[in-house]
Amino acid sequence: MAETESYPPIDPTNFDLIVVGTGLPESIIAAAASTAGKTVLHLDPNPFYGSHYSSLTLQDLVSFLNSHSEIPKTNSLQSDDTTILHVNARPLYSDVEISSYDDSLEEHSRKFNLDLSGPRVLFCADLSVNLLLQSTANQYVEFKNIDASYVGDGNGNIMNVPDSKSAVFKDKTLKYSEKNQLNSFFKLVQGHLEAVKSVDVVIDDGKIISDEDLESPFVVFLDKMKLPPKIKSIILYAIAMVDYDQDAGESCKVILKTKDGIDRLALYHSSVGRFPNALGALIYPIYGQGELPQAFCRRAAVKGCLYVLRMPVISVLLNKDSGSYKGVKLVSGQELTSDKLVMDPSFTITSSLVNSPSNVSKLARGICITKSSLKPDISNCLVIYPPRSLYPDQTTSIRILQLGSNLAVCPSGMFVFYISVVCDNALEGKKSLHAAIDNLFSVHTNETDSKELKPTLLWSALYIQDLIEGSVGPVVTTPTPDGNLNYNDLLDATSKLFKKLYPDDEFFPETLNTDSSDKLEDDSEVVLDS
């Protein structure tokens, strides 16, 4: 009895929507539903916001990874008019491997804000920035620039990504002929984009890419442009951010079409210079990616959403006769009813109400801590290892994001590295992670040479995460963090889930400003800390 008394009763007991889990998709749905005038209860069994999109201390991260690797239990009960389905924990993480080479890190545990779903960045012109502005959640989060982007090779070298005309001109690793080829390609893409936008202007066929080329594989189009392998690799994997080896032919799992490749280049280039105080294309939230779901939770709370943390849902209640969703039962014993239920992907019930995922894909993630940067004067940077750059059978890109203490994610004098790679299985994923780690870092020992040029590895966490798509039914489940660098695909999936829930409601209507201007001023509405 004493255990249930620690949970306060929730009042009211009926809602339009109950959301379980405070990950980014759930928090966005809660904020959008609250903005649309729905009564929303937002629950999370954890003592923190963010779920699988959170930023955690060193000790909390290890505890969370291990606790979500446990095997679930199942249960189902019947009462007079209600079927009670037990909520099971679905393990999303496996093959968790924690390595510590410096015991002193434990005393700094609470000074870390480590992302569970890294590496992640925001492009200045992507959907996440637009949604922050549109929902006005931007007022709850601040950002800093990612200072540079690099492409790495198997010899420990990293070279700048020449992502603009000025960057191409300054790049000392490119030959004069390569600079001309890359600038000519950028000019062609820019001309195509401008021609497509100019609806009332007669289009010059010489400035537009043909429909046939747009439907062809992007790698074929780049070959047609006679771009050398190095330039082609930079465009494909460091600017268009392609996952799979595009030169693998029919064995390539996902082949990027030219039209999609052009769209990705357009996103990258439109992000450069969007905000006057953003120097490049990429930004990152101060205190970690966990600030993003919290920003939308704050927005939802302003609109009347009720929040209760440390409150597990133990059962889903169904109408016995119709089998339709009815409500939930909390760990406190209290039963709540709602018209709709949204659950994060780490919860599942054995029922036709929730579609069980088939052919679950895998993603290998790694977190590393060092006391030095890859480059002496660079705090925050992105490194891409294209396919086959580290070992012959590397079929996918490996992405690494380095962050420094100026982003408040680690103690002063330390750096956090996030690594990710899509994979078919744990063995393949771990091989890629270890290849990147061996190439970038040296391992900390008492005999470590102080003259070692590589950053010394102090701590690492390697793990495999299941990739699960959201599902729609009487009970809606949200997707897990994907393997992309930004949130565009995730936000697109989330908005579709909201429209399935509430087809007659707008997904964050445009904010009406009192100065009769509908448009938000980009330079004043996204705070970039200098």
| Predicted confidence (pLDDT) at residue 520 exceeds the cutoff of 80 | no
Retrieve residue 219's tokens. 């790698």
Cα–Cα distance for residue pair 459/461, rounded to 1 Å: 7
Q: What is the pLDDT of residue 50?
A: 97
- Tell me the CA distances in angstroms from 314 to 9, 85, 106, 268, one per residue in order: 15, 8, 34, 44
DSSP-assigned letters across all residues of 393-455: T--B-EEEEEEEGGGTSS-TT-EEEEEEEEESSHHHHHHHHHHHHHHH-EE--TT--TT--SP
Distance in angstroms (rounded) separating the CA atoms of residues 267 and 258? 14
* 230-250: pLDDT as tens digits: 899 999 999 999 999 999 988
Beta strands in 279-397 (DSSP E): 282-285, 306-309, 313-319, 325-330, 335-343, 347-348, 361-370, 381-385
Convert 26-53 to b/e letters by CB count within 10 Å (16 or more is b).
Answer: bbbbbbbbbbbebbbbbbbbbebbbbbb
pLDDT above 90 (res 508): yes
| pLDDT at residue number 353 | 59
| Weakest-pLDDT range from 41-45, 142-146, 484-488, 508-512 | 508-512
Residue 346 has pLDDT above 50, yes or no: yes
Banded pLDDT at 51 (limits 50, 70, 90): very high
For the segment 348-365, the average pLDDT, to the nearest whole number, is: 74
The type of residue at 324 is: S
pLDDT in tens, 267-294: 998 998 888 887 789 999 999 999 999 9
Within 208-310, strands assigned E span 282-285, 306-309
Select from 144, 55, 110, 58 the least CA-distant residue to 380: 144
Convert the pLDDT of each residue in 144-167 to its tens digit: 999 999 999 888 888 988 877 777
Confidence category of residue 456, pLDDT binned at 50, 70, 90? very high
Helices (H), 126-198: 127-135, 165-170, 176-197
Torsion of CA 87, 92, 96, 100, to 10 degrees: -90
Confidence of residue 357 (pLDDT cuts 50, 70, 90): low
Quick check: 314 pLDDT over 60? yes
CB atoms within 10 A of CB 303: 17
What average pLDDT does the structure give for the chain? 88
Name residue 264's amino acid: R
SS3 282: strand
Rg of the chain in Å (alpha carbons) = 24
**Domains of the chain: which residue ranges?**
2-90+287-358+469-508, 164-271
- Give me the amino acid identity at 45: P
Is the distance from CB of 289 to CB of 14 less than 8 angstroms?
no
Helix axes 176-197, 258-271, angle to 10 degrees: 100
Answer for the pair 483, 363: CB distance below 8 angstroms, yes or no. yes
Do residues 74 and 86 touch, judged by C-beta distance below 8 A? yes
Domain 164-271 bears CATH identifier 1.10.405.10: yes
Residue with tokens 């799992």: 253
How far apart are alpha carbons 9 and 333 in whole angstroms?
A: 9
pLDDT in tens, 202-219: 555 566 889 999 999 999
How does residue 172 score in pLDDT terms, banded at 50, 70 and 90? Answer: confident
Q: To which H or E segment does residue 491 belong?
A: helix 488-501
User: What is the rounded distance in angstroms from the CA atom of residue 110 to the CA atom of residue 530?
Assistant: 25
Q: Please report, for residues 15, 331, 365, the alpha-carbon distance to residue 460 in angstroms, rounded to integers and kept in the order given.
A: 43, 35, 11
> Strand 313-319 and strand 158-160: pairing?
unpaired
DSSP letter, residue 255: P
In this prediction the pTM is 0.91
The per-residue pLDDT for 513 is 38
Phi, psi of 48 (to 5 degrees): -140, 165
pLDDT value of residue 63: 94
**pLDDT score at 203:** 55
Q: If you ran DSSP here, which 8-state letter would residue 469 be given? A: -
Specify the CATH number of the domain 2-90+287-358+469-508.
3.50.50.60
Q: Which of 530, 15, 55 is nearest to 291 (CA)?
A: 55
- With a pLDDT cut of 70, the percent of the chain lying above it is 88
The alpha helices in 68-217, defined as continuous H runs, are 127-135, 165-170, 176-197, 211-215
The 8-class DSSP code of residue 236 comes to I
Measured distance CA(24)–CA(39) in Å, rounded = 19
Where do runs of H (alpha helix) occur along 171-257?
A: 176-197, 211-215, 218-224, 229-233
432 in the Ramachandran plot: left (φ > 0), alpha (ψ -120 to 50) or beta?
Answer: alpha
254/529: higher pLDDT: 254
90 or 341, higher pLDDT:
341
The most confident of the ranges 64-73, 104-113, 299-308 is 299-308
Q: CB 362: neighbour CB atoms within 10 A?
A: 19
Range 372-390 average pLDDT: 95
Mean pLDDT of 466-480: 91
Q: Residue 153 CA to chain centroid, in angstroms?
A: 25
Work out the average pLDDT over 360-387.
Answer: 95
pLDDT class of 418 with cuts at 50, 70, 90: very high
pLDDT for the residue 107: 86
Q: Please give the pLDDT value at position 528.
A: 52
What was the pLDDT predicted at 154? 83
| Cβ proximity of 327 and 338 under 8 Å | yes
